[in-house]
Amino acid sequence: MPENEDIARRIELEIDRALKRNIRGLDFLIADREPVGTMPKSAIYRSGTAVLYRYEPVLDEVYRKPLLIVSPPSNRGYIFDLAPGQSFVEYMLRRGYDIYNLDWNPPRRDEAELGLSDYVNRFLPESLAAIAGITGEKGISLAGYCMGGTLAVMHAALHPKAIRNLIAFATPLDFNFMKLFQSWADKRYFDVELLVSKLGIIPADVMLGAFDLSRPANRTAGRMTLWNNMWNDDFVKSYRMFDRWAAETLPLPGAYFRELITQLMWENALANGTMEIAGRRVDLSRITCPILNIVAQHDHIVSHEATRPLMEMTGSKQRHEIVSKGGHVSLVAGPAAVKRLWPLIDEWLGEKST
Amino acid sequence: MTISAFDPIAAWQKMIQDWEAEINAWSGRLTESEQFSAVLGQTSKMIVVAQKAMTEQLEGLLQSLNLPSKTQVEALADRLDSIEDSIAQLRIALDKLANDGTPTPVKTEPRRTRVPANKARKD
């Protein structure tokens, strides 16, 4: 049984937290958006929706091979650079990497016809050319998160010589295992043509609705947990950054969305080996560079099985897999990523970047 | 401070976690059924058609009130984006010209000779 003194201290603590909750709760409601993406960077290539940033190196000596991170077209790239101390970019810059990020702006209506081939065969090669212009390096380390990873893998399969190392964060390749999206976009009932022809650009709400469907209680439970932890500045800051990132989901070009549904979801063309980009077959066995496949233990969007082709169908002799604690988003910037995953990535990539 | 008795805050937190897990599991089972896909597909179709019809109706109304419609505002936003895009491309091109073909070089370009610490120690 706790002693009276302990109980008194606990009551005091809870009263203090309750007061802080109320004061900071009001602050939270009127606060500006949490600043994100704070590492200095500059745009070195831009073409409509595509923007390539270079982060300013922080060391005088960097690894020879640059690292390009491809963001998913439906989300902002600052998930890799949330805040000082919670930024993969900051960590890797301090470990001596020269880092680039292919990020996306909301597509304009005249970009509704952009398809997978524009992403894989235009924006990516043009980004590599811009990086080569600065560094003089032809071979680079290519990384991608979620669908950004899928685009990176397709590019690596089509242009294997340009890629020195390949890192995939929660990257879906076998879409038969994207269970929720399979139900949501069921071929028998989902009229993708109607959606694309009527809307042109697919609004972010469509994608957000699909994500919410997979975890309908998350938003409410998240708010309740936030209220409990309102006294904790670090928790509130982190919550607001992730919340902002999720709310800033981007719209998608209709043609890209159509191909995503018909070729990847319905035909599972990538895993079946029938995927074609601009008339060329995307053959995963052509990828022979070292591969690092990073999956989240509790990912409700991209299951471990959905990432398997990277470990089973590629031609690489050096394939390494890390199953990290956390979910689809915390995989990249959560506490387990900061403590364990990032050092492992550095250890794996450093020796291959000279 | 060690308290092993009933902790209302911890109990509340656990209740939230259990509730979240239960609702999510229930949703997971529901979304796996064919009926769910059928209802969702039909609903999505109806929402798109209804939205389109409503947009057209509203546009007519806004036009009669001499106010810009959503389509016109979107067109304006697209033009602004397009101008922003062109300015960004011009800046990159100018940087290239000013720096012998290299876009926005950092103040001092770092040496690309780094080796991992463990490898350097071995050498």
pLDDT digits (tens, 9 = 90+) for A25-68: 666 666 666 777 789 999 999 999 999 999 999 999 999 999 99
Distance in Å, alpha carbon of B69 to nearest chain A alpha carbon: 16
Residues B86 and B48 placed together within one structural domain of the fold:
no
Question: Tokens 């007519």 correspond to what residue?
Answer: B60
pLDDT at A145 over 70: yes
Q: Are B74 and B123 within one domain?
A: yes
Tens of pLDDT, residue by residue over A91-130, are: 999 999 999 999 999 999 999 999 999 999 999 999 999 9
From A9-13, A131-135, A295-299, A335-339, the region with the lowest mean pLDDT: A9-13
Are residues B83 and B50 located together in one domain of the fold? no
Segment among A143-152, A301-310, B51-60 with least mean pLDDT: B51-60
DSSP string computed for B33-76: SHHHHHHHHHHHHHHHHHHHHHHHHHHHHHHHTT---HHHHHHH
Say yes or no: B63 and B74 in one domain: no
Kindly give the pairing relationship between strand A67-70 and strand A99-104.
parallel
- pLDDT of B12: 78
Q: Which residue of B lies nearest to A57 if distances are taken between CA atoms?
A: B110
Is there a single domain that holds both residue B76 and residue B59?
Answer: no
Whether residue B103 lies within 8 A of chain A, CB to CB, comes out as yes
Residue in A with minimal Cα distance to B23:
A217
Could A180 and B31 be called an inter-chain contact, meaning their C-beta atoms sit closer than 8 Å? yes
A211-225, A293-307, A329-343: the lowest-pLDDT one: A211-225
Provide the shortest C-alpha distance from residue A136 to chain B (in Å): 10
Contacts A198 to B, Cβ<8 Å: 48-49, 52
Identify the pLDDT of residue B65: 85
- If one compares A170 and A17, the residue with the highest pLDDT of the two is A170
Given a cut of 50, whether residue B1 has pLDDT beyond it is no
Residue A247's pLDDT is 80
Looking at beta carbons, which residues of chain B come within 8 Å of A133? 96, 101-103
Residue ranges making up the domain that contains B80:
70-123
Minimal Cβ distance to A109: which of B13, B74, B104: B74
Domain final residue, candidates B49, B67, B85: B67
Both B25 and B43 in one domain: the answer is yes
For the stretch B34-69, pLDDT in tens is 777 787 777 777 877 787 788 888 888 888 888 888
Q: Is there a contact between A70 and A149 (Cβ–Cβ < 8 Å)?
A: yes
Beta bridge partners of residue A323, listed in sequence order? A295
Region A294-310 average pLDDT: 94
| Same domain assignment for residues B104 and B83 | yes
Q: Report the complex ipTM.
A: 0.73
> Chain B window 24-83: which residues touch A at a Cβ cutoff of 8 Å?
24, 27-28, 31-34, 36-38, 40-42, 44-45, 48-49, 52, 74-75, 78, 81-82
- pLDDT surpasses 80 at A1: no
Q: Decide which of A8 and A185 is more confident.
A: A185
**For chain A, what percent of residues have pLDDT higher than 70?**
93
B80 and B42 in a common domain: no
A340's tokens:
């364990």
User: Tokens 């550095």 label which residue?
Assistant: A346
Distance from CA of B91 to the nearest CA of A (A): 9
Q: Taking CB atoms and an 8 Å cutoff, what residues of chain A touch B91?
A: 43
Does B53 share its domain with B30?
A: yes
8 Å CB contact between A177 and A103: no
Do B53 and B31 have their domain in common?
Answer: yes
Question: What is the distance, to the nearest Å, from the Cα of residue A3 to the centroid of all Cα atoms in its chain?
Answer: 49
Query: pLDDT tens, A155-164?
Result: 999 999 999 9
Indicate if B86 and B117 belong to the same structural domain: yes
pLDDT score at A164: 97
Assess whether pLDDT exceeds 90 at residue B108.
Answer: no
Distance from CA of B60 to the nearest CA of A (A): 18
User: How close A34 gets to chain B, by Cα (Å)?
Assistant: 24
Neighbours of A198 (CB within 10 A): 15
- Please check whether residue B24 lies inside any domain of the structure: yes
A56 touches chain B (CB under 8 A): yes
Rounded mean pLDDT of chain A?
A: 89
Q: Which CATH superfamily is domain A8-350 in?
A: Alpha/Beta hydrolase fold, catalytic domain (3.40.50.1820)
Residue A4 at interface with chain B, using a CB cutoff of 8 Å: no
Q: Does A223 touch chain B (CB under 8 A)?
A: no
Q: Does A10 contact B28 at a Cβ distance shorter than 8 Å?
A: no
Q: In chain A, whose CA is at the least distance from the CA of B111?
A: A61
**Average pLDDT value for residue range B4-24:** 76
Is residue B38 domain-resident?
Answer: yes
Asked if residue B82 and residue B111 are part of one domain, the reply reads yes
Q: Per-residue b/e over A149-178, b at no fewer than 16 CB within 10 Å?
A: bbbbbbbbbbbbebbbbbbbbbbbbbbebb
Rounded Cα distance between A199 and B7, Å, is 52
Over pLDDT 90: what percentage of chain A? 62
- Cβ–Cβ under 8 Å, residues A301 and A214: yes
Would you call A198 and B4 a contact, using CB atoms and an 8 Å cutoff? no
Among A93, A99, A105, residue whose Cα is nearest residue A54: A99
B2 assigned to some structural domain: no
- Check CB contact under 8 Å for A180 and B89: no
> What is the tally of structural domains in chain B?
2
Chain B positions in Cβ-Cβ contact with residue A1 (cut-off 8 Å)? 5
Q: How many CB pairs under 8 A join A and B?
A: 163
